[in-house]
Amino acid sequence: MKEVYEVMELSGPGGKSDEKTFLNDVLQLEISGPDEDHLSVIDVPGIFKNTTEGVTTKNDIETVRDMVYSYMRNPRSIMLTVVPANVDIATQEIVEMARELDQDGERTLGQDLLDQNTDRQSETRFFRDVSPWNTLEKERVGISALRTRLQEVITTRIRHEFPKVKAEISKRLQVSRRMLQALGTERDTPEKQRAFLVGLATQYERVTSHAMSANYGADDLFDKHKELRIATIVAQRNDVFSSNMEFWGHERDADSDDEIFDDKRKKKVNIRTTTDKDDLEDIIQPQEYLLSPSLGITYWLKTLYQDSRGFELGTFASTLLPAIMKEQSKKWDLVALGYISDIMVMTHSYVLCLLEAICVDERIKSGLVSVLMDGLLDRYRKARDQVVFLLNIEEIKPSSHIK
């Protein structure tokens, strides 16, 4: 035990006074033999509420209680509560904890701890001759009785828990078989390796085909991973884009008694609905928001007209319309770039999620992601460039918000 204290860095025999008194680490001692019982005995520290200066701390109180509780709440553990015989059992916290976790007392045994100064040359003689202990039922006292009772309780618990254990083993076995099956056949030759990768590509293409056509009933993956429902996710984002353009995409708005427009006017809206991805940091538009349109478009149009009059009679200059359009479409760049950024994030999440689902081997998945990343990033950049190109075609010059 001196070696144990030294190795585990505990205070006590062989340890130092400035070291800890309690640890969550477990010292495991295995005893085997033809006459040994098939069970594990876990000797946990006794629960205490008061600290001893230089020995225990308040943290030790919580450490011990959590440790004891972690073992007691296991439904397959048998609780042997040891309490002093000369104290009121109602004051013992361990008894209350046992009642809380085992209300029917099916896996709880109580044991009295006698005073060490009691004249006890042998257990048999003690319970035979010493009063009042000699009045107790013989089948309920002593190590032999405790051994018998423990065997009975253990047998009962095994019979009670065995169906659950069997079910758990069966479930884990099924999971292991699925994982083994997902690994595929041996890949010890280049031909087998190529066949394996072709199989992954075929599965990826099949799932993606169903995802694009919203045929979610064709594969259980769509129920397990909602990110794979890419057609629906993009369609929902399209609705958000349409709403943003309708309510937030113009710079000025007319005075209106419409409660919907008034409610929108009181708020601001983010241009993005997804969270940032580290892999796409240099491509996607940063998280920003749009302010509600300003009121008084009629007054603004009159003012713009007065400031832009030429020698025309009864009409207005054709140059007025581009000026109006340029002012009203200031927010289009943020709306459009926020939209395409969300689409890129959704697509990227789909690719990573599907690879995670079809590649059980983490090493293979990481390798595929590494190989595909450059191509994916290039396509994302081209998608963004296409949006900027369309904005320029409409003579909407991207503002300083565009990265």
pLDDT at residue 400, as a whole number: 47
**How much is the average pLDDT of 197-212?**
93
Could you tell me which residue, 328 or 259, shows the higher pLDDT?
328
Q: Are 380 and 346 in contact (CB under 8 A)?
A: no
Counting residues of the chain whose pLDDT is more than 70, the rounded percentage is: 87
Whether residue 132 is preceded by a cis peptide bond, meaning omega within 30 degrees of 0, is yes
Measured CA to CA, the distance from residue 369 to residue 354 in angstroms comes to: 11
pLDDT at residue 57, as a whole number: 80
Boundaries of CATH 3.40.50.300 in the chain?
Answer: 2-113
The pLDDT-based confidence of 227 (bands split at 50, 70, 90) is: very high
Q: Are 343 and 263 in contact (CB under 8 A)?
A: no
- Classify each residue of 93-128 as buried b or exposed e, where b means 16 or more C-beta atoms within 10 Å of its C-beta: ebbebbeebbeeeebbeeeeeeeeeeeeeeeeebbe
Tally Cβ neighbours within 10 Å of residue 377.
16
Q: For residue 377, give both structure tokens.
A: 């990033």
pLDDT at residue 119, as a whole number: 45
Estimate to the nearest angstrom the gap between the alpha carbon of 75 and the chain centroid. 26
Instruction: Round the average pLDDT of the chain to a whole number and report it.
Output: 82
Q: 316-320: long-range contacts (C-beta < 8 A, 24 or more apart)?
A: none
Where does 2-113 sit in CATH, by number?
Answer: 3.40.50.300
Least confident window among 70-74, 90-94, 310-314, 339-343 = 310-314
Measured CA to CA, the distance from residue 344 to residue 277 in angstroms comes to: 10
